Chain A
């Protein structure tokens, strides 16, 4: 089995010291002269018609500089897939965290008081919290005007069904009829959250017609577009800068509140700062992980061959579409999983509800779908009396196999990840009766997106990478110097990175979709090659040698085969400084999506084929307290195929963090809702993250080969995959001791209830 190795020097990331010593400045740390504090007035109902808003008492409060409602901003509906949203509530509020008005005041206390003084009169409407209920015939419409909304025409939607995707392959009815066994089950995953340590913060300051917005976003260029679109101003007049970002995990993807703060600052004629409380971080953002209802049906032969999968998935969209309309297609792919399934019929729906909108959170749809599917896989194995690992072994995809959308898989190591993970954990060994090992496999695509970078060398021979990419803590931007250094024969420590400023770097999709290394890495390599060519041109003159005979090694350009004949890059840089500029640019064309065939399928939104798919298997050992249902994860073995691993320290850290997040989703992280869609536990005492004391030893190994269709030198996605299989693996371990728990998170009470049955 090929294991990707990388023995190059491990280096300390540029932002590391700032972050661990407390020197780092985050958005909430910024102070501008005369700065005001912002507060939002949220809707008092999960669903209601707004009859009247009176801001006069708030405006009259001393210390209040601005109070805004939808009447004070351009009448623009926005949304990447479905234009269903306005900055402030317009006529109807559709979830408890909808912004009705905003205040800027001298102090936070005055702003709090002013928000209370805003009078809003409502006519309450029936609220729908349950996504299946929202899709039921006759359910009240959450967006009465849905048909008139603009947006992406590839989104198939009707009424409360905000996006429908299907996969059809073969003849699923006939295949199920001919199967030896058919297993049909239902699983339900609760909504959960990204929970970055840093609650979001935004500071906006105007100078004339131009605004600078400092914001804790993962996607500065998309935030810039959002401000320009909603405030109807040229993008060139909007500069978005991101100080250090205190985590995002997807929750800070998309445009959120930058325009609200910019509008307040313009009205108040002062800089304005908004800092969220933890409660707001749960209730207000349109980016929490969606709940899912999974109905899964599998036809299987006695020898363990899967012949068919039928599934219906209902995903909980929340009140607005945000970036969720591509979820159904992705979830449908996840409901098939990394297995050979010849006959497939999957329908996935995204249902509007009166809850906080869902959106991309680390590997959107995948941990929940994978959890349901992998528990189902164990249930199918049980039905035919086959060991669950052996069952997976007989169905997992190999190079040359075809997916449900008839993509032929090429450079993949799914089977190796399965074998390695079970070997690492010692699958099959004797365990105490209250312990068990669970195994789950998952997959995830690599996303191809446009991106750009500049690389420049200074007169002293040091370099700067100017990139549009955004660092959200994963270290992918911080690792870009490794790529430039490799091309230029320099050391990564010689490069600084200028990033997170829309006026500096080229456009980039931001810290989303595990895309930075793949796409911006490609751009940095191309920009570095550009500089390399410029260096070689200079060196040709100095060394009087043909370019083809030169190489860049250890900070020198030297003649191949004659290492003593050469010139220091520093010397060339010094020479160039007063004359030519050593400035490279790169974008690199995004690779094309693999071929597939989706005839008969519905809702084509980009996930119908998986570019350079990653594969991962987690094997976990759990202990179940049979009296209480409390589960402790004692050991995790994670074997991942991400192609070539560029930075092993960073990549291992991503797996460790992803597994910890996955354990949280498995055991404790879930929002509870009231019947009218309000979150009942929007705070960290009762929305329980795993603590450092809870997370066990996590062993990580990398399998597979560099994938030529992927990023620089064959690197596939790394950041999102690690949280995908963990909940399923934990669930399968629990099932062996306590019985299958069909709700996520699998809390002590739910495990205990499963044991009572």
Chain B
């Protein structure tokens, strides 16, 4: 039962460790908790990447987008003005991941690569058309986040590849990530939905809708998108988008909810995400981001 843990000082050191079979650890919020709960044992060989400066920071890209380092924490995402203003759904999602402690140490890279169907940031990243930047000793490649997430706990990344950053293309309009919450803190998505829309005058231009925790991997809902695109964004369109989200869901029954409830909530939560995204596109600053803790964020959703 020998286990090794090394802390990489440079990116090449980390890549070399991965090439020889080590698994990366940053915040450890999934890895350590999973091992403690007996979900998955700790890997025999771990390489810590928290010291890699090139994986930190949020920077503007030439094309008007953002490059977010894999080590950026959820708390940092919530606090970042560009994320809040232009990628609001990502701020919404980051604001409600786990607990305050989770958001402080948990990273965007970890959330993405853990590939849980209930991950909060997946829906927003897919709707924004985000790309994952994967690096290995043999070079760099880019994979759309939508293609990266291949199933529960599975990604298209090779074991020797490290996610170093997420790149977001330029975004206009408004967006929202909404989640069914049984309580106000320490929640996990049972039903989640993302919507990002652009406007063309008073009408909806393009629309993207994704559902979370309702399918084995987070997926977009084309029927919901077409129900919105080009329309007036009114109640009928919102209703149709919600119905499409429910139809696309493949809900299960377990301790968290029955399949019937999940499907019904898919429509409710999708409608809420769509409504907020449209309102935000039209200039509302309604709950940006959704406050995870009313006491700490100084607002009360009730």
Contact = CB atoms under 8 A, between A and B. Distances in A.
A749 interface: yes
A693 B268 contact: no
Contacts of B37: 279, 683
B295 A693 contact: yes
Interface stretch (A408-416, A541-549, A623-631): A623-631
Interface stretch (A325-333, A574-582, A684-692): A684-692
A726 interface: no
Contacts of A632: 302
B154 interface: no
Nearest to A681: B255
Nearest to A749: B261
Interface string B160-202: 0000000000000000000011111110100000000000000
B130 to A, nearest CB: 27
A690 B268 contact: no
Contacts of A627: 268
B10 to A, nearest CB: 32
A680 interface: yes
B257 interface: yes
Contact of A691 (B186, B255, B302): B186
Nearest to A434: B302
B268 A634 contact: no
A225 interface: no
Contacts of B158: none
Contact of B184 (A684, A694, A749, A753): A694
Contacts of B181: 630
Contact of A685 (B188, B264, B269, B292): B188
Nearest to B99: A691
A668 B183 CA distance: 9
A748 B261 CA distance: 9
A138 B269 CA distance: 48
B282 interface: no
Given A623-B302, A630-B181, A693-B294, A752 B255 contact: no
Nearest to A684: B186
A686 B255 contact: yes
Given A623-B302, A627-B268, A752-B264, A693 B184 contact: yes
Contacts of A691: 183-186
A668 B294 contact: no
B29 interface: no
Given A628-B268, A634-B302, A672-B255, A692 B182 contact: no
B293 interface: yes
Contacts of B294: 693
Contact of B185 (A623, A685, A694): A694
A101 to B, nearest CB: 19
Interface in B92-130: none
Interface in A589-637: 623, 627-628, 630, 632, 634
A24 to B, nearest CB: 21
Contacts of B268: 627-628
A109 interface: yes
B1 interface: yes
A681 B255 CA distance: 7
Contacts of B284: none
A749 B183 contact: no
Contacts of A748: 180, 182
A747 interface: yes
Interface in A685-710: 685-686, 688, 690-694
B185 A686 contact: no
A753 B258 CA distance: 11
Contacts of B258: 749
Nearest to A683: B37
- Which interface class (under 10, 10 to 19, 20 to 34, 35 or more) fits A? 20 to 34
A277 B33 CA distance: 13
Given A681-B255, A693-B293, A749-B258, A628 B180 contact: yes
Contacts of B261: 749, 752-753
A109 B183 contact: no
A690 B182 contact: no
Nearest to B188: A685
Nearest to A680: B255
A684 B99 CA distance: 13
Interface in A651-698: 667-668, 672, 680-681, 683-686, 688, 690-694
A747 B182 contact: yes
A601 to B, nearest CB: 40
Contacts of B257: 749
A684 B261 CA distance: 22
Contacts of B141: none
Contacts of B292: 693
Nearest to B265: A628
Contact of A109 (B1, B185, B188, B269): B1
Contacts of B264: 752
Contacts of B186: 684-685, 691
Interface in A722-749: 747-749
Nearest to B295: A693
B80 interface: no
A748 B256 CA distance: 10
B112 to A, nearest CB: 20
Interface in B268-302: 268-269, 292-295, 302
Interface string B227-263: 0000000000000000000000000000111100100
B107 to A, nearest CB: 20
Contacts of B256: 686
Interface of A: 109, 277, 279, 623, 627-628, 630, 632, 634, 667-668, 672, 680-681, 683-686, 688, 690-694, 747-749, 752-753
9 contacts: A628-B268, A634-B302, A667-B182, A680-B255, A686-B255, A691-B186, A693-B185, A694-B184, A753-B261
Interface of B: 1, 36-37, 180-186, 188, 255-258, 261, 264-265, 268-269, 292-295, 302
Given A688-B182, A691-B183, 9 more contacts: A628-B180, A630-B182, A684-B186, A685-B186, A686-B256, A688-B183, A693-B294, A749-B257, A752-B261
The 6 residue pairs across chains A and B that have the minimum distance between CB atoms: A691-B185, A693-B184, A693-B185, A627-B268, A749-B261, A681-B255
